[in-house]
Structure formats: C-alpha cells, structure tokens
C-alpha cells in the first residue's frame, strides 16, 4: 500500500469531519442570535438540512458537479456516485468520469464525503437569514433543490472544470462556491419572505431584536472557527505539509484580525464592543480568507481578515437600511465576506505560494487580469444563483407557501411548526413581537 494515499485519505476525512461539525456551529450561532420561541425550529432546520443535503448530493448533486460534461454542468455518472472511477489513481493514470478531481489521490468515497460537507454548508447558510418566519417544509424543499441542482451546477463551473475554471477564476476553498452561493440564495429568500413582524417601523425605524442566548452564539462561532481548520487546510485534499501549515496560519490570522477589527469598529461606532459584531467579525474574516488562504502571505491574511471584519459591521447596518431582514447577519458575513474574499485573490495572491496557479495579484505586480476574472466569476455566480433561487422561492410561495401565519410568528414557530418548546422549565419574558 502507498503511504501517500493512506495519509491523504486520513487528512481529507478528518478535515471533512471538522466541516461536518460546522453544522453544529451554524445551528448555535443562528439559534443564539434568534429568539427563544423559535429555537426548536431553527436548530431543527440546521439539523435536518444536512440530512437532506446528504441525500440530495448523493442522489444527483455530486454527479452534476463533478461528473465529466461540458463547461456548464456534469453529464456523466450522475446518480448515486455511479460512474466509472479508478480513484485513488491520479492525473494521467486516472480513468473514470469524475476527472475534475483527478488531482487528489484519495478513494472516490473520500472525495464524495469531503464535497458533501461543503454542499451542506452552503445550504446551512441560508437557514439563518430566513429564520423566524419561514415554514419548515418550505425550507426543506428549497434546501433539497439548492443542493441537488443550484449548488452543484454553479460549483461545476469552478471546481468541476467548467467555464470559470477554464477562464482562470480561482477560489481555493469556497468564498464564492460555498459562501456566496449560500448568501445569494439567502438574499432571494429574504426578499420573497419579507421582514419579521415588528422589525421595521412605518416611520423608517429599525427595531433591534436581540438574540436569546449569547452562550450559544459564541459556542457556535468557536465551533465554526475550529471547523474552518478542516474547511481551508483540508481543501488541499492532500497532506502537503507546507501548504496545510501555511493555510492553517493564514486562516487563523484572518479570523483573529476580523474579530478584532469588527470589535474595534463596533466599539467606535456604537460606543460598546457588541458581542454580535465580534462574532460576525471573526466569521467574516474566515469567509474572507477562504478563497485566497493558499495563495497569500501571513501578512496579507492579516489585512484581508481585518478588512472583512470591518466591512461586516457596516454591512449589517446597511442591510437594515434596505429593510433586508437577516436575523443573524448571514448575508453580510457570507455574501459581502465571500465577494471581498474572492476579490482578495486578485489583489493579494503571490505566485510563489502555489506556483502555476493564480500567478501574482494586482498588489504584487501581477496586473489586473486575475482581478477581472474574479469579478466575472463573482457576477456570474451571483446572477445565476440569485435568479434561480428567486424563481424557486416564488414557486414555493405560490404552491405550498413560504411564510407561517402572523399568529404563529407571534407565538413562535416552535409550537406552530413542531409542537415543542425549547425551554419549558424556564419562565420566559414576553419576547418582542
């Protein structure tokens, strides 16, 4: 047996487990930032969405994303990972229908599992933005379609050897593929759903609706940070010692810089270091470094993280100006962070870190070509995902409906959707409508 295949497989699977664990991180951040009366619903959504993603990606998503096909989508080996494949053979030696991943020398099911947990992440991002008013069944239906069709087709363009990959668009671990996709789908959902009752006054006022459990939110954020050590370094899909060591440091430094930048800006803007901003700053730093983590220096990662962290504070405040009600800040974190992170490749990349991939970015003498490619990718993915998601959300609205009744929203979705209460032994305040 070959040591490299065995070690790479262990590395990829451990990384994938960490990314799986991010489901808990999302569940706790999102439920912590929402009201107690909707907790069962939110954590159920976050939980069941990974189960749905597992089946959707197994049955059809994987093949659409990684099956050999054209620049737009996979066409071979579509169902149940059913195509020919001689993994872990690599490069020339590879023979099968999933050629886009023939650069990594691990068994087919290791490739599948690693890609599955990424697909699940995209779906989970949507969950927070649409929280506190969406019907449970409608979220499940949308998630299934997102993971079965939208995510894999767009992903095919970039990671499946499609037209953006051929153009020279780079997204190492998914600032665009995963995070922006989730955010665009979320934005469409927020538009179709409308804001929560009481969020925006007729006089233009914005009412703060505090989350019910900061212990949950902080726990979730640290779990996400932890899980990102699988997300980014694991995207090497090989235990390359120099690369994974560099990526874990750039990832961590960006998270730290994002947390500190957001804390400082919030302190300055709002007068106090709001915990929600600290949390979203760290997450924005993580999203921001995701595309470029393998291509940039540690010093650059500090700058990228700090910018992403600062941006998210303004982003959260700006979305409220447009009455886009995102209870957890998911669109700011994953959307703005994802776009900026994708651009950061074009600005900060240095050829020396992964020779023969990105080349140098604008700030390192490489010209604007890479940055232009990144912009094209951002726009194309954004337009496609937003349009497709909007169509699907509308179709759901017109058929099974998308929003719970006003009464149910006031009482909380836990009773209405699940017949459960999250904390029945505790006396609750009358939570804000």
**Tokens 């023979």 belong to residue:** 95
Nearest CB to its own copies, comparing residues 131 and 339: 131
For residue 350, CA distances in Å to 51, 72, 376 come to 39, 29, 20
Task: Provide the minimum distance between the beta carbon of 378 and its own copies in the complex, in angstroms, as a whole number.
Answer: 28
Q: Could you say which of 73, 100, 106, 304 contacts its own copies (CB under 8 A)?
A: 106
Token pair recorded at residue 384: 């496609």
Give the nearest distance from C-beta 190 to its own copies in angstroms: 23
Distance, in Å, from the CA atom of 107 to the CA atom of 7, rounded to the nearest integer, reads 12
Site string for its own copies, 283-312 (x = CB under 8 A): ---------------xx--x----------
CA diameter of the chain: 70
Contacts for 359-364: CB closer than 8 Å, 24+ residues apart? 361/295
DSSP secondary structure of 122-160: HHHHHHHHTTTTB-HHHHHHHHHHIIIIIHHHHHHHHTS
The reply on whether position 239 binds its own copies by CB under 8 A is yes
For the chain, first and last CA: distance in Å?
62
Q: Name residues contacting its own copies, limited to 368-397 (CB under 8 A).
A: none
When binding is defined by CB under 8 A, the residue of 94, 136, 149, 364 that contacts its own copies is 136
Find the shortest distance in angstroms from Cβ 262 to its own copies. Answer: 10
Site string for its own copies, 312-351 (x = CB under 8 A): ----------------------------------------
Q: Any contact of residue 123 with its own copies (CB under 8 A)?
A: no
Q: How far apart are CA 316 and CA 319, in angstroms?
A: 5
Out of 75, 89, 109, 372, point to the residue binding its own copies (CB under 8 A). 109
Q: Establish if 282 lies at the interface with its own copies (CB under 8 A).
A: yes
Site for its own copies in 5-44 (CB under 8 A): 5-11, 13-14, 16-18, 20-21, 23-24, 27-28, 31, 35-37, 39-40, 43-44
Contact 175, 338 (CB under 8 A): yes
| Subset of residues 69 to 88 that bind its own copies, contact rule: CB under 8 A | 80-81, 88
Handedness of CA 57, 61, 65, 69 (dihedral sign): positive
Query: Binding its own copies by CB under 8 A: which of 130, 147, 221, 396?
Result: 221
Nearest residue (CB) to its own copies, 403 versus 421: 421
Q: Would you count residue 241 as binding its own copies (CB under 8 A)? A: yes
Binding positions for its own copies, 392-431, rule CB under 8 A: 417-429, 431
Q: Is 260 in the site for its own copies (CB under 8 A)?
A: yes
113 token code pair: 């599992």
The residue among 108 and 158 lying less far from its own copies, judged by its C-beta, is 108
Out of 30, 171, 274, 409, the residue judged to bind its own copies by CB under 8 A = 274
- Residue in 70, 95, 226, 391 binding its own copies, rule: CB under 8 A: 226
Options 218-226, 331-339, 340-348, 352-360: segment touching its own copies (CB under 8 A): 218-226
- DSSP bridge partners of 200: 206
Choose the binding region for its own copies from 92-100, 121-129, 269-277, 386-394 (rule: CB under 8 A). 269-277
CB-count burial class (<10 Å; 0-12, 13-18, 19+) for 129? buried
Q: Is 430 helix (H, G, I), strand (E, B) or coil?
A: coil
**Alpha-helix residue ranges (DSSP H) falling in 130-240:** 136-145, 151-158, 163-167, 181-193, 214-231
337-348 and 369-399 are packed helices; what angle lies between their axes, rounded to 10 degrees?
Answer: 160
Residue with smaller CB distance to its own copies, 183 or 247 = 247
């Amino acid at each position: 047996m070959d040591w490299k295949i065995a070690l790479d497989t262990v590395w990829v699977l451990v990384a994938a487990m960490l990314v799986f664990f991010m489901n808990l991180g999302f569940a706790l951040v999102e439920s912590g930032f929402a009201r107690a009366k909707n907790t069962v619903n939110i954590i159920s959504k976050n939980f069941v969405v990974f189960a749905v993603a597992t089946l959707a990606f197994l049955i059809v998503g994987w093949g659409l994303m990684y099956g050999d096909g054209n620049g737009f989508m996979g066409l071979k080996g579509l169902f149940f990972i059913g195509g020919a494949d001689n993994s872990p053979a690599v490069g020339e030696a590879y023979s099968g229908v999933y050629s886009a991943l023939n650069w990594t020398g691990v068994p087919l099911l290791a490739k599948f599992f690693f890609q599955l947990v990424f697909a699940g992440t995209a779906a989970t991002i949507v969950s927070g933005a649409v929280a506190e008013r969406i019907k449970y069944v409608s979220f499940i239906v949308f998630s299934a379609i997102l993971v079965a069709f939208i995510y894999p087709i767009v992903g095919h363009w970039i990671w499946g050897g499609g037209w953006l990959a051929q153009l020279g668009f780079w997204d190492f671990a998914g600032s665009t593929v995963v995070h922006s996709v989730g955010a665009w789908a979320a934005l469409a959902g927020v538009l179709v759903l409308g804001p929560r009752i009481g969020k925006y006054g007729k006089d233009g006022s914005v009412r703060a609706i505090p989350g019910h459990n900061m212990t949950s939110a902080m726990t979730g954020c640290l779990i996400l940070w932890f899980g990102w050590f699988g997300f980014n370094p694991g995207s090497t899909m090989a235990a390359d010692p120099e690369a994974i060591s560099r990526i874990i440091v750039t990832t961590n430094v960006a998270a730290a810089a994002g947390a500190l930048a957001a804390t400082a800006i919030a302190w300055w803007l709002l007068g106090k270091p709001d915990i929600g901003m600290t949390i979203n700053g760290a997450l924005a730093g993580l999203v921001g470094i995701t595309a470029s983590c393998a291509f940039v220096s540690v010093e650059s990662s500090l700058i990228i993280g700090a910018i992403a962290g600062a941006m998210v504070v303004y982003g959260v405040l700006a979305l409220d100006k447009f009455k886009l009600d995102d209870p957890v800040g998911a669109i700011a974190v994953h959307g703005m962070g994802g776009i900026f992170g994708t651009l950061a490749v074009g600005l900060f990349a240095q050829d020396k870190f992964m020779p023969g991939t990105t080349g140098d970015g604008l700030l390192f003498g490489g010209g604007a070509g890479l940055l232009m490619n990144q912009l094209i990718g951002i726009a194309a993915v954004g337009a496609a995902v937003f349009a497709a998601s909007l169509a699907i959300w509308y179709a759901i609205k017109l058929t099974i409906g998308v929003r719970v009744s006003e009464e149910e929203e006031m009482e909380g979705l836990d009773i209405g959707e699940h017949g459960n209460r999250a904390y029945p032994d505790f006396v609750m305040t009358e939570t804000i409508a």
